[in-house]
């Protein structure tokens, strides 16, 4: 194709710029006006340098950068005061830090914990009068009912503004054939079934407030990580269920958001002692033929995955907390949030790459890395 007397590969360059701008789009919620202007200037210069005669490419870059400029502007944020939120799984990790963050911001926070007398619960009780700690094992229907009755008696006709489904378990990272069925059922029960039951219990109060449902999913719910078959299946189920629910509850003004973090260091990974017990159960109950196929050395090495994951996990939980708060209080929350390193890159690559290419990239970046 001729453009200004010079040969120009319009389609590849246009696609390159669109992809680059698409990647940057993911960061629009955290970048200010100055960043958007920088994108605009960079896009213009790159287009001019790479293909100076192709005005169409230049125009595409300018338009995309202007979209970033518009999307990166200050968003309208709702006031935190006077709004109530229930967060599950607040003993530690995301839920614990989020409960403190939102209470200090002025929200009325109900923090559900698995261990009401544990150190996490005791610490939360000292944070603020805005924070109420609830004994809430989400797999216990009676505890869910008690929490529902307490919250309803305190918030009255105002309704519950937000529900953050944070409680979850990892289980044990091992091949799907080896994972004990007992643990598979537990992971699905906690991460999916019980999360859905809690949501259904509190949905009338959320509908009353025209509020928000925010659910912690995972990159493993989109990308099939070896060793995470059960955990990934439970998170994939959440993605589909709450994706459908987003359409179903929109008629009442209720908004639904999914948070898909990358690798962050929380206590969901468990401890070496817990993993050693599961490994012992696997070696004791696995059929002889299967045990011989995999070998005891391979099965015993699985507990080392905990050390590998812990070593490479991000310790700064701020990106996740920022996105959850945005999903709760932004006037225009998104359906999916991808906080953390590679949280969007791996699903994006899997979605648009040929399978053989994705497998090669995945093996190089993830499997060999561990």
Return the half-sphere exposure (C-beta side, CA atoms, 13 A cut-off) of residue 10.
13
Q: Which of 33, 8, 72, 51 is nearest to 43 (CA)?
A: 51
Identify the DSSP state of 331: S
Neighbours of 351 (CB within 10 A): 10
Q: Which of 27, 231, 298, 337 is catalytic?
A: 231
Go through 9-40 and write b for each residue having 16 or more CB atoms within 10 A of its CB, e for each that does not: eeeebbebbeebbeebeeebbebeeebbeebb
Angstrom CA distances, 307 to 182, 210, 212, 303, 357, stand at 24, 43, 36, 8, 29
Per DSSP, the three-state class of 288 is helix
Q: Which of 19, 18, 50, 24 is nearest to 36 (CA)?
A: 24
Check the CA dihedral 266-271-272-274 and report its sign.
negative
Determine the Cα–Cα distance for residues 235 and 238; give it in Å rounded to an integer.
5
Determine the Cα–Cα distance for residues 154 and 25; give it in Å rounded to an integer.
41
Whether 231 is catalytic is yes
Per DSSP, the three-state class of 191 is helix
Return the residue matching tokens 């050390």: 307
Per DSSP, the three-state class of 8 is coil
Identify the DSSP state of 216: E
Q: Tell me the sheet residues that pair with 85.
A: 109, 162
- Residue positions annotated with a catalytic role: 231
């Amino acid at each position: 194709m001729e453009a200004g007397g010079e040969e120009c590969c319009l389609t590849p360059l246009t696609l390159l710029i669109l992809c680059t701008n698409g990647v940057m789009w993911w960061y629009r919620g955290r970048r200010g006006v100055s960043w958007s202007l920088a994108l605009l200037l960079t896009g213009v210069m790159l287009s001019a340098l790479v293909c100076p005669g192709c005005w169409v490419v230049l125009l595409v870059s300018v338009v995309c950068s202007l979209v970033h400029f518009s999307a990166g502007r200050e968003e309208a944020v709702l006031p935190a005061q006077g709004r109530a939120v229930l967060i599950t799984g607040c003993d530690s990790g995301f839920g614990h830090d989020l409960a403190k963050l939102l209470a200090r911001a002025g929200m009325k926070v109900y923090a559900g914990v698995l261990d009401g007398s544990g150190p996490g619960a005791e610490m939360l009780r000292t944070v603020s009068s805005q924070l109420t700690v609830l004994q809430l094992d989400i797999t216990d229907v009676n505890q869910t009912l008690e929490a529902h009755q307490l919250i309803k008696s305190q918030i009255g006709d105002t309704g519950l503004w937000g529900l953050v489904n944070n409680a979850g378990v990892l289980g044990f990272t091992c091949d799907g054939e080896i994972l004990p069925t007992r643990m598979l059922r537990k992971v699905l029960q906690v991460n999916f079934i019980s999360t859905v039951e809690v949501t259904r219990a509190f949905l009338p109060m959320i509908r009353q407030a025209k509020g928000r449902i925010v659910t912690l999913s995972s990159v493993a719910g989109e990308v099939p990580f070896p060793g995470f078959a059960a955990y990934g299946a439970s998170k994939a189920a959440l993605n589909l269920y709450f994706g459908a629910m987003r359409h179903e509850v929109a008629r009442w003004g209720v908004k639904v958001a999914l948070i898909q973090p990358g690798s962050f260091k929380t206590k969901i990974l468990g401890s070496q002692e817990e993993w050693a017990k599961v490994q012992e159960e696997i070696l004791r109950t696995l059929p002889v033929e299967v045990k011989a196929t995999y070998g005891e050395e391979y099965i015993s090495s699985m507990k080392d995955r905990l050390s590998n994951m812990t070593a490479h996990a991000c310790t700064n939980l701020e990106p996740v907390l920022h996105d959850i708060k945005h999903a709760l209080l932004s006037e225009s929350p998104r359906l999916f949030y991808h906080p953390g390193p590679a949280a969007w890159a791996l699903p994006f690559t899997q979605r648009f790459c040929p399978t053989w290419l994705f497998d090669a990239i995945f093996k190089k970046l993830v499997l060999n890395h561990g």
